Amino acid sequence: MKPRGDHNIRICLGTACYVKRVEESLNKIKDTLKIDVGDVTEDRKFSLETVRCLGACGLAPVMVIDEETYGAVTPKKVLEIIKEYAGEAAVSNKR
């Protein structure tokens, strides 16, 4: 069993999500958190997994963090969501 972070991120690589370019968002997460699929960040805050269809294809591309589902994600959107989980919302919303 692989260790999990405080927040487990699951990215759907099923067909519906794949054709809607979910891979761009996945790459953004990997770059931002500096981890690969199956890894946990050094501070153990996040872990990253991929799955085959989360059963929410109508919302594709889909990301789930813990039990929360996010639809129509883009690289920009996943970054914003992850920052919120990291407690850095104040930084990203700087005026």
CB atoms within 10 A of CB 36: 8
H-assigned helices in the chain: 15-19, 22-33, 75-85, 89-92
Within 18-57, which residues bind ligand FES (CB under 6 A)? 53-54, 56-57
How many chain residues bind ligand FES (CB under 6 A)?
Answer: 11
Q: Binding string, 62-91, against ligand FES, x = CB under 6 A?
A: x-----------------------------
> By Cβ distance, which residue is nearest to ligand FES?
14
Tokens representing residue 71 in the block = 């639809």
What minimum distance in Å lies between the beta carbon of 90 and ligand FES? 32
- Contact (Cβ atoms closer than 8 angstroms) between residue 48 and residue 11: yes
Residue type at position 45: K
Q: Which segment (15-23, 29-37, 41-49, 82-90) binds ligand FES by CB under 6 A?
A: 15-23
Give the integer Cα–Cα distance in Å for 73 and 6. 21
Binding residues for ligand FES, rule: CB under 6 A, are 12, 14-17, 53-54, 56-57, 60, 62
